[in-house]
Structure 1
Amino acid sequence: MAGEEILAAVALTLATKSSEALAEGGRAVFAALARLVRRRFQGDDAAQTALAEAEADPSDDARVQSLREELARAAAEDPAFDHELRRLWQNLTAYSRADNDGVVNNLSGSVGGNVVQARDVQGGISFGNVSPRDSETKP
């Protein structure tokens, strides 16, 4: 999704508070996205007004467009905000796509051990030095 399309989608999602339809993990990401935007808009009357008006009437395209413009301005002024906004949006859209089959596998940061991300596992999963005989069940 291109940069402007992402901001439009974020604006509409914030305005409609559409996180209610998401699984718990998606709601947590939505809440983080909303907190990020509210924190960035603190002290900016125009941005706060745009957010409040879009939330009050998310069917008003002009209000949602105004919010998108405020998001674009904030993103242009603050690269760290832009980066975090896009990261959270990517995570949120991953939850939205996963709602169809109920699975989201996310991993971030460094891992110091074993990790398994899966939906359906048939059979066992083991780590380490286990010989095939050791994993067989004994009579």
Structure 2
Amino acid sequence: MPEPMLVTIAASLATRAVAGLYELVRAKFADDPVAAAALTAAEGAAPDSPQVAALSETLERTVLADPAFGAELRAHHAVTQTGRVTNSITGTVSGNAVQAGDIQGGITFK
């Protein structure tokens, strides 16, 4: 079973919620008809659909075969709540970070 992040990425790809991420994967899959078909089949599919599951498995195989692509994929990944907020943290983070949709009131770090 693919790692949870790859499943989340596959769901983001299915909705094209993160355009740069979609283009990265589409370009990587361009020379692989089976992988490209998995990407196409997942378009518009629900996050828990068999098509998104198949895409996440395809991503896992691709990442295992090409760790540099895996690093690039993770660097482009963003957590997305469709229509609400897109958060992205890349690189080394030292200090506090919050990824959230709606926050009522303040946030305090201790």
TM bucket by the smaller chain? Answer: 0.5 to 0.7
Amino acid aligned to 1:71: L
1:1-139 pair list within 5 angstroms: 4-17=3-16, 19=17, 30-58=18-46, 61-89=49-77, 92-93=78-79, 95=87, 97=99, 99-100=101-102
> What per-residue deviation string (whole Å, max 9, x for no partner) do you get for residues 49-93 of structure 1?
11111104336611111100110011011111000111111xx22
Amino acid aligned to 1:50: A
Find the aligned partners of 2:101 and 2:47 in 1 and give their Cα distance. Answer: 24
Q: 1:52 to 1:60 in 2, by over 3 A?
A: farther
Q: Which has more helix, going by share of residues?
A: 1
Q: 1:58 to 1:42 in 2, by over 3 A?
A: same
Amino acid aligned to 1:76: L
TM-score (norm 2): 0.67
Instruction: Say if 1:54 and 1:60, in contact at 8 Å, map to a contact too.
Output: no
Q: How many residues align?
A: 86
Find the aligned partners of 1:82 and 1:7 in 2 and give their Cα distance. Answer: 10
Root mean square deviation, CA, Å? 2.2
Which secondary structure state, in structure 2, belongs to the residue aligned with residue 83 of structure 1? helix
TM-score (norm 1): 0.54
Structure 2, gaps ≥5 residues long = 80-85, 89-98, 104-110
Structure 1, gaps ≥5 residues long = 20-29, 102-139
